[in-house]
Structure 1
Amino acid sequence: MHEMTQRDELAAPAVLCPFAPRISPHADAVQRWSLHWATRHGLLDRPGARQAFARARFANLMARAHPDAGEAELRLATAWLISTFVLDDLLERALVRDPEPARAAVAEVVRLLRDQQPAPILATALGRPLAAALGEVWRRTEPRVGAAWRERFVGHVADYLAGTLWEAGNRAADRPPLLEEYRRMRHHSAATDMFFDLIEPMHGIELPRALLEDPDFDAARRAAGTVIGIFNDLISWPKEAAIGDHHNIVFAMQREHRLSLPDAVAAAVAEHDEHMIEFQVARDRLETRHWDDRAAIIGITDLVHWIRGNLDWSLESGRYSSEDLPAQRRPSG
């Protein structure tokens, strides 16, 4: 599928990241809690699952994305992250093997969040452990937020699940996506919008309408999500190449523009950096207009934390090989 004979010639690319790293002092405590939580819910019963979970350090990603949140809030965010990873893995395997029950499961997840009551079919579709975990995290989140937030969040969860269905359908058909199609759907499958929404219950705020309706805020969120999605592609393409998965911006650029693998990686880095600059410009304009609104500043600042936190978590997580990890660089001058 890909020119893997060039694999050893590729150095890890340096990506632009001008933000300083931060991490919550609660990270280690939440990591210990998360292992107990995932075990209690039966999410780590597969062979080697506990060891892989400990290496992944999911709590560190949430502790970096929300360094100023309290320990209880970081526990909730980490439970969302774990549940989403487990759901993603289940759907990826199930949709290829038996697509109809998996599609029913997607519909039931959205129904759970919209109706706030799990349907009996949910446990059958997802398995009781994951269904119970999702039900718990939603029950813990729902009292923290209002109706407008719930509607926005559920819509973003539905978008993420639609992206997952799209990817799984392509894998089942061995269909490589076109570049523009991939860019559009990657924004959904990366699940960044739903996790950006969780900034609000993590801090006990709801973003003001003036910020939500600000075009620069939409641009900043979209750019932040794109930066995270491309960075994740830059560190995961060797794994995806090894299993023949087409879903990576590096491969889409390689196919569509007839690039060598090193040139495709370089093109993806350049696109990452363009969106990083776009994010900075939008963020600076937002901070000028909303500097006196605490909720708005938190919502903007945690986007910065998410971008930098995703990078640092990738460097320390056992989910990736150290030789595949891009370095980071600051702007010159």
Structure 2
Amino acid sequence: MTVPPIYAPIPPAIHPRHAVIDARTAAWAESFEIGSPELRSRLVRHDIGTFCARILPEGREEVVSLLADFVLWLFGVDDGYCEESDLGHRPGDLVGVLHRLLRVAQDPEGPFLLADPLANGLRDLRARIDRFGTYAQATRWVDALREYFFSVVWEADHRRAGTVPNLDDYTLMRLYDGAATVVFPLLEMGHDYELTPQERDHPATRALCEMTSFIISWDNDIFSHHKEVSGKGFYLNALRVLQHQDGLSPAAALATAIAQRDRVMCLYLRLHDHRAGTASPRLRRYLSSLRHFVRATQDWSVSSRRYTTPDNPADLPSSFRSTPTDAGTEPLDIPVIRWWWSLLPEPEGARDDETPLRRPAVAGR
């Protein structure tokens, strides 16, 4: 399948120390023996440090390295436990393993899993989270990790049964198992600030975070499709869901997925500009980091060995397009995200930042 250039209106950026950060993350993976030797040898060649240097191009170098180590650790869990082992077909056992890891994140000094490499890597990550973040940021990071673990168990149940969820359920699951949400607290740490609860929990901020997760996940599904189809095991992505639910051909599913992410991208840009217009300097910094995160995923996806798969080359684009394939303003036919479109500003003008934008009741739960 040939993936055409996709709409990428956000400019690229990268931390000037990206090469050092990437090498440091490879050394960290070896030091903590993350994953099997074979898995680790692949992960350290996937330019994960460079990816994270694109997410925080102006961030504190120590936090960019922390983020890179954490992302590699997440791949150690996702690839090692969920995708490439029998554990990924046993959701009941998987939830027990992940629950014990979650306890390590909550209580890194606790006397358990002391010989487990992933647990020890997580202890190191938590210590650095505490060093560079606040108590509240560390708590949100642990809570986001719980959401991520819950979603990968959900996916494991489909893997066990060989079933494909409908698009609405898949979208909800993908907002969390794409792992973007566990990165969000580190965006603040990267620039040494903390959003107020009112800024972070404002419906428009929450929607922009969810849209960031959606765009990143859909882009990942598009760019990783060749890698997943070429594998021997069960795979689940937006293209397969669209084919299964709507009876689309692979090419039609690809075009539909691209149109969906383009329409969300257009909404994202409009809502971002509205929210940034009355935002504090720290909130504008956070919104800028979300944008960097979106573009970082695109640049990394078309260049990393993880997705280009040199041994069985994927037909990925070498450039991006400047216009969307779908600039429609109507909500996508995906009920769990329809509330995003209710946040567009009223035609009369911008609202007071203290006034919640109109939204369906579900968005405020």
Q: TM-score surpassing 0.5? A: yes
Compare 319-328 and 60-69 and name the one that shifted more: 319-328
Aligned to 2:258: 269
**1:305 maps onto 2:261 in alignment:** no
Contact 1:91 1:164 in 2 (8 A): no
How far off is 1:238 after superposition?
A: 2.2
Q: 1:177 to 1:139 in 2, by over 3 A?
A: same
**1:90 maps onto 2:77 in alignment:** no
SS in 2 for 1:329: coil
Q: Which amino acid aligns with 2:278?
A: R
SS in 1 for 2:236: coil
* CA displacement 1:138-179 (0-9 Å, x = unmatched): 111123323332332222111111111111121111111221
* CA displacement 1:210-238 (0-9 Å, x = unmatched): 32122111111111110000000001122
SS in 2 for 1:13: coil
**1:111 maps onto 2:82 in alignment:** no
**1:67 maps onto 2:57 in alignment:** yes
Aligned to 1:12: 3
| Length-normalised TM-score, structure 1 | 0.89
2:320 to 316, 323, 328: 328
After the TM superposition, which residues 1-333 of structure 1 pair with which residues of structure 2 at under 5 Å, given as runs?
A: 10-43=1-34, 46-47=37-38, 49-50=40-41, 52-92=42-82, 93-96=85-88, 99-120=91-112, 122-123=113-114, 128-242=116-230, 243-290=232-279, 293-321=280-308, 323-326=314-317, 327-331=319-323
Measure the CA separation in 1 of the matches of 2:111 and 2:77.
17
Q: Which amino acid aligns with 1:306?
A: F
Measure the CA separation in 1 of the matches of 2:171 and 2:45.
30
Contact 2:223 2:302 in 1 (8 A): no
Q: Which amino acid aligns with 2:147?
A: D
Q: 1:244 to 1:202 in 2, by over 3 A?
A: same
SS in 1 for 2:320: strand
How far off is 1:68 after superposition?
A: 0.3
Q: 1:196 to 1:48 in 2, by over 3 A?
A: closer
How far off is 1:116 after superposition?
A: 4.1
Contact 1:12 1:324 in 2 (8 A): yes
How far off is 1:137 after superposition?
A: 0.7
Contact 1:176 1:246 in 2 (8 A): no
Measure the CA separation in 1 of the matches of 2:89 and 2:211.
34
Determine which structure has the larger helix proportion and give its number.
1
| Length-normalised TM-score, structure 2 | 0.81
Asked which structure has the greater RCO (Cα within 8 Å, sep 6+), the reply is: 1
Contact 2:199 2:205 in 1 (8 A): yes
Q: 1:296 to 1:238 in 2, by over 3 A?
A: same
Contact 2:70 2:125 in 1 (8 A): yes
Contact 1:56 1:319 in 2 (8 A): yes
Q: Which amino acid aligns with 2:126?
A: W
How far off is 1:248 after superposition?
A: 0.6
How far off is 1:119 after superposition?
A: 4.6
Contact 2:10 2:295 in 1 (8 A): yes
Contact 1:236 1:324 in 2 (8 A): no
Percent identity between the two aligned chains: 25
Q: Which structure 2 residue ranges, 5 or more long, are not aligned?
A: 325-365
Measure the CA separation in 2 of the matches of 1:42 and 1:197.
25
Q: 1:97 to 1:283 in 2, by over 3 A?
A: closer
Measure the CA separation in 2 of the matches of 1:249 and 1:235.
11
